[in-house]
Every structure is written in structure tokens, then in C-alpha cells.
A and B are shown apart, each in its own frame.
Chain A
Amino acid sequence: MAEQKKDVKEQCATREDVRRAAESLSPTDAKRLERFAVYRVRGLGRKAMSRDHEDLLREAITSTWIGAEDTSHGRSWRKAEVSFVQHLLGAMRSIASHWKEAFDENEAYLDSEMTIETEEGETRGPIQSAPSGEPSQERVLIAKEELRAISLLFETDIEAALIIEEIKEGWSGPETMRRLGMTRNQYEAAVRRIRYHVK
């Protein structure tokens, strides 16, 4: 048992490891992390609560820094198993999901707290048509507008437009290729075009 604990500790990076890895990040890895953060925060929309991609990057490194000394609080980087970049990508996925969940819980709470009963005995919330846990109308409208703007970018690019529709429905890359009868090259080229226009 003690040996196992020792092994786990040895696999986890120290603060010095984290500092060195952060300082020696290559320009391409730095860009990869930045673009990843940009997309994740953009996907959260209003759920990001005014936080931007830099906040996501900051929280990922701070959490890793804490985790190097306190595995029960931060996110320790298991350097023997994953690269620093892979670790940070995982941390950002997890943090972004946490922000999203926290917003949903908070919104559900606020909505139920602010619900009142009318003279007719009906209960009315600030967002009447959105029961607890459902997205607010405002956020849906913002997301709808953004999706519409993205669609307009690909009005003349049928392949890209179809792929976007598949993604929105939750299909994976291989499923999309199969469903649309695309080759990997066609698919990857279209995804590159989507990335190029959606920044």
C-alpha cells in the first residue's frame, strides 16, 4: 500500500516540473492550447459568465500548480502517463464542464427562487416558458443567432454545411463520414474550412 502511494507520488509532477514544462511550451503547443480554450469558452456562451479563454487557461494551470502539492484539491499532472499539453487539455475540458454545470444549477435555483404565485393561482417564473434546468430564452436566442451566423458562412460550401449539421446532431466524425458518404480527405478538408472561418 505504502509502495503504491509512493509510486503514485512519483508519477505526479512537482511544481518545478510544472514550471519547467510551462516555460518550455513550444509556440505550436501554446497556440493549440489557446485555440482549444477559445472554442470551449465560445461553446459555453453565456454559461461562461463573462469568463474568457484566458480565464480557462489560467484556471487550468493554477489547478495543476495546486495539484502538484495537494492532490486532493488541484489536478495533478501524471507526467509518466500524459504529456503536459494533454494534461492541460483534459483540465480545460473538465473546468469548462464544471462551469457549465455550475451555471445550470445556479440558473435552476434562481428561477425556482424567483417564482411567484399570481392571483389566479398560477405560478410564474422570470422565464415563464423555461422550467428549471432548461436553457433561458435569452441564451437560446444568442446561441441561435450565432448558429445562424455560422450557417451563413457556409452557404456556398455544402460539404461543410452538412458536416456542421451532423455535429449539431451529435454524430461523431466517423459516423458523419459514413452518413454523408465522404472520404477522410474530403471530411478533413471541410473541417479545416470550418475552422478557418469559425475563429
Chain B
Amino acid sequence: MRKKRKHDDELDLLMSFLAESVAQMNDDQIREEYGDEPGSRTKEIFKAAIREFGRQKVRQARSEYESAAKALSSRSYNLPSGRSERRELFSAILSKRPDLCSPAFTAQHRELRDLTDSDIESFLRQLAELGLLDSFLKK
């Protein structure tokens, strides 16, 4: 005689048994037993779950980007205080280390007039965050 089980364990055993019996049914038996039921939503659920996973990833990436951008703008760096000094520094970096700027960025903004003060400050902050600005500031 086996140990008497609790009711919820018994229910779990019964339902697990039925689940496993369904897993072992062949296609004909499935059609015969469930053919009169509405079609399964399984495929729709799978499709939606895959789509939702992609959206979650985008939301997560956006949120991480926003946090990083916020942290970057709120952190204090040792940047020149005047706008003209910042432009000079930016220009110096551009001529000495063009590799630090993307080719498109370099080409588009060769004329510094195209760049706003905020663009330049943001670029310098990014360099500072990467630890690449100090070498230019010392010179």
C-alpha cells in the first residue's frame, strides 16, 4: 500500500497523467477526440510571443540607452568652460585623431559651423567617458 497523498498532489498526479496521455496520442486519435473543438490558438500564441520578445528587447535597449545618456549628461567632466575653447578642442581632436570620429561625422561636420554647441559638448563628454580626452587637455 502506498502512502496516502494530499488532495492537491492527487489532483496534480491525475492531471499530469492526462497530460502525458495526450502527449502519447497519435494524430488520428487527436483528430477523433478533439476534432469537434475550436482550432487551437497555439500557433498564434507562439507567433505573438516571438514578436513580443523582439519588442521587449527594443524597449530594454532604448531604456538602457536613455539611462546611459542621462548618466552621461549629468556627470561632470573637466571640459573647457567656454564654447569657443570647446570648439578649438574639438577641432584639435578632429585633426590629430580623425579615427575617433566616424568618417560620416568627420565629412559632414568638417565645417564646424554645421555643429551645434550641444553636438560638440556631447562628443567631448563621450570622449571624456572613454578616458580619451585627458591627453588632449594636457597638451
Contact = CB atoms under 8 A, between A and B. Distances in A.
Most buried by A among B11, B13, B21: B11
Most buried by A among B5, B13, B31, B39: B13
Contact size range, A: 35 or more
Contacts of A180: none
A43 B15 contact: yes
Interface in A100-137: 100, 134-135
B40 to A, nearest CB: 4
Contact of A170 (B2, B30, B48): B2
Interface of A: 18-19, 22-23, 25-28, 30-37, 39-40, 42-47, 54, 57-58, 61-62, 65-66, 89, 100, 134-135, 139-144, 146-147, 150, 164, 167-171, 191-192, 194-196, 198
Contacts of A46: 8
Contacts of A141: 7
Contact of B42 (A25, A40, A143): A25
B49 A62 contact: yes
Interface residues of B, number: 38
B85 interface: no
Query: Main SS of chain A's interface residues?
Result: helix
Nearest to B26: A28
Given A43-B14, A61-B49, A167-B17, A30 B8 contact: no
